[in-house]
Structure 1
Amino acid sequence: MRIISGIHKGKRLTAPKKLPVRPTTDMAKEALFNILNNRYYFDELIVLDLFAGTGNISYEFASRGTEQISAVDADYGCVKFITETSEALDMGIVAFKSDVFTYLEKSKEKATIIFADPPYDLPLESFEKIPEMVFKNGLLHNNGAVIIEHASHMDLSHVHNFSEKRKYGSSVFSFFEAPNQD
């Protein structure tokens, strides 16, 4: 995996092969960050990266100037890799080992961008539960967005607060927004 833009542009990172991950492709990641670049100032964001895996998305935000990033994953190896990489590159990403749904239920921290990249084989109900829990628990700042990456055969447009979806190859980003939540 490589960091596409920012102060670490072009930096290649190699995660241990044993991690249970499917990193977002460079093409999809670049398209997503082009969208976000037109909507937000990265240095003003608070980011929550759910099902963080290798930390691919977190590193991209950090490289572009985001200073407040929390990454959540249930796998100890993933959390360890994110922590070590963040320290080596002086990114300040805070990684938590937790089940994402437990984290969302207990967290009181609000974010501007909540990005989730669950395993594609999770049931539809689990994907639907992510934005439902975020909005129910008031975890999103005004004019923030929940972005869920999922397989192209899945449709989340029926979920409350859905705003749009963008397809890149076999991946789709579904956006959920609820302005004036604070």
Structure 2
Amino acid sequence: MRIISGKFKGRRITAPKNLPVRPTTDMSKESVFNILNNYFDFAGLKVLDLFAGTGNLSYEFGSRGADNITAIDADFGCVKFMKQTAADLDLNITPIKSDVYKFLGSHKSVYDIIVADPPYHFTQEQFEQIPLLVFEKELLNTDGMMIIEHSKHTTLDHVMNFSFSKKYGGSIFSFFEFETEEEQEVYEEEED
């Protein structure tokens, strides 16, 4: 994996082969960050990286200036690798070994950007539960954004606060934002 932009632009990071991960491709990552560039100045952002795996997205955020990154993964090897890499790069990334759903259910902090890259074999319900918990627990700033990476076999465009999606190769990135009051009224009218 390669850091695309920022302080560590071009830096290659090699993860151990035994980690249970499917890293986001460089092309997909670059495309998603190009979208985020239109919405955010990364300096000072508070970021939550769910199902962080190797920490690929966390390093990209850190390289671009986000200085408060929490990375959640259930695998001990992944968390250990992220801790070592964050220390080597001197990035403020806090890797936490936890089940993502338990973490979301009990966590209280609020973030500017939340990214989630769950295993593609998860069920539709497991995918839907992520944005539902994030918005129910108010973990996203009102002007923040959440991005979930998934395969074409999962659809999230019907989930509340869905904003838009982008397809890159075999991956789809669904973006979620708080709806304005006007959008909420339209949504409620459609429900009736």
Class of the TM-score when normalised by the shorter of the 2 chains: over 0.9
Instruction: Check if 1:138 corresponds to 2:138.
Output: yes
- 1:167 corresponds to: 167
What percentage of residue pairs aligned between the two structures are identical?
Answer: 59
- 1:67 corresponds to: 67
- 2:113 corresponds to: 113
SS in structure 1 at match of 2:48? strand
Residue 6 of structure 2 aligns to which amino acid in structure 1?
Answer: G
Q: Number of aligned pairs?
A: 180
Instruction: Check if 1:48 corresponds to 2:42.
Output: no
Residue 86 of structure 1 aligns to which amino acid in structure 2?
Answer: A
- 2:184 corresponds to: none
Q: Hey, what's the Cα distance between the residues in 2 that align with 1:94 and 1:173?
A: 24
Q: CA deviation at 1:45?
A: 1.4
Extract unaligned runs of 5+ from structure 2.
181-192
- Deviation readout 1:85-119 (Å, 9 max, x if unpaired): 00000001000000000000010011011100000
Extract unaligned runs of 5+ from structure 1.
none
- 2:35 corresponds to: 35
Residue 16 of structure 2 aligns to which amino acid in structure 1?
Answer: P
Q: CA deviation at 1:44?
A: 3.1
Q: Structure 2 length normalisation: TM-score?
A: 0.92
* RMSD, aligned α-carbons: 0.9
- 1:76 corresponds to: 76
Mapped contact 1:73–1:99 kept (Cα < 8 A): yes
Q: 1:92 to 1:44 in 2, by over 3 A?
A: closer
Mapped contact 2:110–2:138 kept (Cα < 8 A): yes
- Deviation readout 1:3-51 (Å, 9 max, x if unpaired): 0000100100000000000000001000000000111000131100000
Q: Which runs of 4+ in 1 moved over 3 A?
A: none
- 1:12 corresponds to: 12
Q: Hey, what's the Cα distance between the residues in 2 that align with 1:24 and 1:179?
A: 27
Q: CA deviation at 1:58?
A: 0.2
Q: Hey, what's the Cα distance between the residues in 2 that align with 1:66 and 1:179?
A: 25
Q: Hey, what's the Cα distance between the residues in 2 that align with 1:44 and 1:142?
A: 16
- 1:156 corresponds to: 156
- Deviation readout 1:103-160 (Å, 9 max, x if unpaired): 0001001101110000000101010000000010010112111110000232110101
SS in structure 1 at match of 2:104? helix
- 1:96 corresponds to: 96
Mapped contact 1:143–1:179 kept (Cα < 8 A): no
Q: CA deviation at 1:179?
A: 5.2
Mapped contact 2:161–2:179 kept (Cα < 8 A): no
Q: Hey, what's the Cα distance between the residues in 2 that align with 1:71 and 1:60?
A: 12
Mapped contact 1:113–1:146 kept (Cα < 8 A): yes
Residue 135 of structure 1 aligns to which amino acid in structure 2?
Answer: F
SS in structure 2 at match of 1:59? helix
Q: Hey, what's the Cα distance between the residues in 1 that align with 2:85 and 2:70?
A: 14
